[in-house]
Amino acid sequence: MIHLIVGNTGSGKTTYSHQLREQTVGIIFSIDTWNNHLFLKDKTENDGLEWMLERISRSEALIEHYILQLEHISVDSILDLGFSKFEHRQKFRDFAIRNKIECKIHYLDIAIDLRKERVIKRNTEKGITYEFEVKQEDFDFMEIWFEAPTHAELEKGLHIVL
């Protein structure tokens, strides 16, 4: 089973992923962790969105490789990859269909004020889900970038509203 964890910045995707892992036999793939360990130390001020998206794409190719191995041994893949765009979610749904793997979306639909609070707290406390500081301009960009899942996407998924 592939679990697509969807939500805007500060919605609690990583925390939710850890809770889901406790309820299932699953492995979490968190793009924030991958980016922090593999790429962010090399990023310069001239490297923009395209630079990061290209690296995320390479990471996801490896993640797909590992998903197939995990599926073979009946271990769920919990994808904390942001999934800000419909097209990104569809890429993994298509992958699941091609490989005959069940796929479920979990949409964390959290009010903006609560999400802002969470981001400030995470930036300050640097707890277990902290990978890097989310600046106000990054938060604001993601508010515009994010595409909420459609009704059809949520038909067989979970829609969690706070």
- Which pLDDT tens digit goes with each residue over 2-60? 999 999 999 999 999 999 999 998 999 998 888 888 887 898 999 988 898 899 899 99
* Cα distance between residue 28 and residue 80, in whole Å: 7
Residue 113 has pLDDT above 90, yes or no: yes
Q: What average pLDDT does range 135-155 have in this prediction?
A: 94
Task: Residues 2-161: name the CATH superfamily.
Answer: P-loop containing nucleotide triphosphate hydrolases (3.40.50.300)
Q: How many CB atoms lie within 10 A of CB 68?
A: 12
Q: Tell if the pTM clears 0.85, that is, is over it.
A: yes
The string of pLDDT tens digits covering residues 49-59 is 889 889 989 99
Asked whether the beta carbons of 20 and 26 are under 8 A apart, the reply is: yes
| Cα–Cα nearest to 77, from 66, 88, 85 | 66
